[in-house]
Chain A
Amino acid sequence: MAKTQLHVGLEIGTSKVAAIIAETRSDGLLRIIGTGESPSRGVRKGEIVDISKITLCLNDAVSEAEEKSDREISDVTAAVTGAHLDSLNNRGGIQIPEERDEIEEEDVQDVEQSALDVTIPTGNVFLHTMVQRYYVDGQEGVASPLGMVGRKLEAEFHIVHGTKTRIQNNLRCIREANLRPATVVMSAVASAQAVSEQSDRDQGVLVIDIGGGTTDYILFRDGAVRHSGVLGVAGDHITNDISIGLRVPTKLAEKLKVEHAEVSPAALSARGTVDIEDPTFAGGQVERRILNIVAEARVRELLTLLKRRLNFERHAQFVGGGVLLTGGTAELKGIASLASDVFGVPARVAMPKPLMGPSALFESPRFSTVIGLVLYAQSLQDAKEDTSIIDIVRTKILRFIPGL
């Protein structure tokens, strides 16, 4: 019987810091025992610009979670994001030593190492290597090569890398808060873990997490990651556009976005006005149609850009699971119908998997990443105990990046 294991997810987002403490009970189920949230300060477009400010927010969120769970934590699974994260696909290959035929764990590691022999920009470090498929003696579609007989092992990997100093900044403020970033996960990977099932990923699915400062995306085909990345455009941009287009202060623009803006194609011809009861705004009311036009233009552009980046046409017929939208901005009215209009495949807003525990507050797409983090940490644990598990985590992330 496995002992109780504690997992802590920590997301430093552009709009909020969220912490979740969860434990894996003896029956293997994950239960949330404490949560904490604090509005972010000092983060722009997913990247930390003011360590001292964000460390305070981080302390607030973590202490709240600690108090609720009555635990003290030190090791955390942290999410990283920011437009500096980039990805590529690369193939690695090795010859199996003459003296044996069967492929062993060591070979699997070697082939991964050989795939990392690619050029990434100076100053960048690898964050994830996620296996897409193995080839044994050129034969495609081998799920797990362990124990197979062959002379040559090859594999295609999805590799995520990012600017070292920016990842370091992220880790530094976690350390400032007296925590240890035991595992570092790309936000998109975590969100996908929270909102998609293995079956979705097998069918092919595009997960788009639109937060405050960044849009994190990840595309799965045949259960493997094919594409991932971050775009530094998200909910704050919608707010900014509204603020400029309707000439209202940012706070009011945010409120209009959350409460009234609608981006479905039909909403562009919306009628009527929104009354504004705000002493800082003299105008009194804004036209719904204009509000919607401004918001829709931004979101459509964002999604269209993603579509182009992913070369989505090439993948569309292999993405049977459609588009899953999550992150705080997924709460924008009409976003699913806009996304299916843009991508030409079904799209829906995806909530994070419900977990046991007092998690009512966390039943929102805003918390997909942080919930994904604990799920990720858990499956990592499982993978360690059972090497036969094939999941996106069977992907050997670099748990500790030398020098970070």
Chain B
Amino acid sequence: MINLGPNAQAAAPSAPVSSVKVIGVGGAGLALLERLASMPLGRTDLVAASTDARALMGSSAARKVQLGREATKGLGSGGDPSVGEGAAKESSSEIRDECEGAAVVVVCAGLGGGTGSGAAPFVAHEAHRKGALVIGVVTMPLAGEGGKRREQAERAMARLARSCTAILCFENDRLNELGPEGMTISDAFDASAQTLAAAAAAVVRMVSLPAILRLGIDELMQVFQGSSARCEFGYGASSGSDRVRAAVEEALSSPLLESGKLLGYSESVLVHITGDGSLKLAEVHSALRQISKHVEENAQVMLGVATDPEAEDVFDVVIMACKGAAAKSGIDDDDEEDDGVAQETAGEGETPEDGVAKPAESREKTKTSRRTAGGEQTQEELPLDQAMRGRFKDLDPTMVDGQDLDVPTFIRMRIRLK
């Protein structure tokens, strides 16, 4: 049985959110932008940000920001996050300009190196201060790249988590399992970038295309929370008379999903379908039926459907699932200035995430967004029941008054740790 999430209720097709920006930071971020540029994303601005002037020149992104003209003189950041961060700070006004008016900012970077680890958290921070909802799409370095890069990546991750509402984190090690053994490192990076791009594109489409069935950001977060969550991902696109079956099959056969087997172990599964203007209800039903065979009985399936009126004969489906997700919360790192403004609960009104508004009941359950007096939105905390049970996750829940007491109190009571 598929249980649809609380958001699986029809909403009138609404105007697309025009203000989605994808900012690629550093080498890996730019590479990801290149791939995104060739994908249908709805109305989305791509912004390339790098210290490396040559890399920027080669980028096909519409907007470009050269970070740290003075500090790096157009060269790379040499693998040093402090250089990357310094460069980003030097160019902070340009970064802010790029974020101006964006409802959603997707920050793409490879963590571990200099620009990605140093500048990406700063970019996310600035976007967040501009009131945008920030989603991170990042990769973690290969184990073979050594402990230092790993450490830099972990630190960057912790800092990103402060400003990002959700982070899709892909382990390069894990992505590399996709390919055959003996794959060269360049092929490995290539494969990983391709998968990452598909994931990022899917997220962007979810928030940028007019939705028929909305997926709230809270639901996105349910599926990807935390740096250590292992995100399983499948993407399929097809056209023609048999497009539903073909697209779903392709998505299910993604090596990350191990031919659909992994879906069976996932507690929540997110399905997002994008079609052209002719998308039929029967097609959505048919896709769900096909997917439901692979999903565990009790799992929650969250469905989002969007149409792209400009596309012709497209049916694509994204399946994301997480298992063994670990904790995510807003720990502070020590070296960043605290913007310690008094928090006030967000009104129901013009919060930045209204572009991907959650229906009232879901908001009731998961409403965690708070804004500072200045209209900033700070990071949401995640009411992720299963994932948040930590060491109790394999035990019967301790249910009292409809609450699972194994979930940390501070999460259920929405106490901000700041």
Contacts and interface: CB of A to CB of B under 8 A. Distances in A.
Contacts of A290: 331-332, 417-418
Where chain A touches its partner, the secondary structure class is: helix
B417 A294 contact: yes
A297 interface: yes
A290 B155 CA distance: 19
Nearest to B388: A244
A244 B409 contact: no
A297 B415 contact: yes
A241 B333 contact: no
Contacts of B392: 44, 236-237, 240
A233 B398 contact: yes
Given A283-B333, A293-B410, A240 B390 contact: yes
B169 to A, nearest CB: 14
Interface in B374-409: 388-392, 395, 398, 400, 405-406, 408-409
Interface string A268-294: 000000000000001111010010011
Contacts of A236: 391-392
Interface in B330-347: 331-334
Contacts of A137: none
A239 B334 CA distance: 23
Contacts of A284: 334
B417 A232 contact: no
B409 A241 contact: yes
A285 B331 CA distance: 11
Contact of A244 (B154, B155, B411, B418): B411
Interface stretch (A69-77, A245-253, A326-334): A245-253
| Residue among B331, B332, B389, B409 with the highest chain A CB neighbour number at 10 A | B409
Contact of A283 (B331, B390, B406): B331
A284 B332 CA distance: 12
Given A244-B390, A284-B334, A232 B329 contact: no
Contact of B413 (A240, A246, A287, A301): A301
A35 interface: no
A44 B406 CA distance: 12
B158 interface: yes
A91 interface: no
Range for the number of chain B residues in contact with chain A: 20 to 34
Given A244-B408, A282-B151, A293-B410, A250 B417 contact: no
Contact of B154 (A250, A282, A294, A297): A282
Given A237-B406, A290-B417, A293-B417, A285 B411 contact: no
A301 B409 contact: yes
Contacts of B413: 297, 301
A305 interface: yes
A298 interface: yes
A137 B332 CA distance: 69
Interface string B153-194: 011001000000000000000000000000000000000000
B390 A243 contact: yes
A179 interface: no
Contacts of A232: 398, 405
B331 A247 contact: yes
A51 interface: no
A243 B327 contact: yes
A310 interface: no
A164 interface: no
B143 to A, nearest CB: 16
Contact of B409 (A282, A285, A297): A297
Contacts of A283: 158, 331, 333
Contacts of B327: 243-245, 247
A298 B408 CA distance: 7
Contact of B408 (A282, A285, A294, A300): A294
Contacts of B411: 244
A47 to B, nearest CB: 9
Interface string A32-64: 000000000000110001000000000000000
Nearest to A239: B391
Given A237-B405, A293-B410, A294-B417, A244 B329 contact: yes
A88 interface: no
Interface string B182-216: 00000000000000000000000000000000000
Nearest to A242: B408
B114 to A, nearest CB: 18
A120 interface: no
A108 interface: no
A83 interface: yes
Contacts of B333: 283
Contacts of A45: 395, 398
Contacts of A244: 327, 329, 388, 390, 408, 411
Nearest to A305: B400
Nearest to B415: A297
| Residue among B329, B331, B410, B415 with the highest chain A CB neighbour number at 10 A | B410
Nearest to A214: B398
A100 B409 CA distance: 60
A149 to B, nearest CB: 48
A146 B121 CA distance: 79
Contacts of A297: 409-410, 413, 415
Contacts of A293: 410, 415, 417
Given A282-B154, A297-B413, A301-B413, A240 B331 contact: no
A399 B16 CA distance: 72
Given A241-B409, A305-B400, 7 more contacts: A49-B395, A231-B400, A233-B406, A245-B408, A247-B329, A247-B331, A301-B405
22 contacts: A83-B398, A231-B400, A233-B406, A236-B392, A240-B392, A241-B409, A243-B390, A244-B411, A245-B408, A245-B410, A246-B331, A282-B151, A283-B158, A283-B333, A290-B332, A290-B417, A290-B418, A293-B410, A294-B415, A297-B413, A298-B408, A301-B409
Of all A-B residue pairs in the complex, the 4 with the closest CB atoms, nearest first, are A244-B327, A241-B408, A297-B409, A232-B398
Interface of A: 44-45, 49, 83, 231-233, 236-237, 239-241, 243-247, 250, 282-285, 287, 290, 293-294, 297-298, 300-301, 305
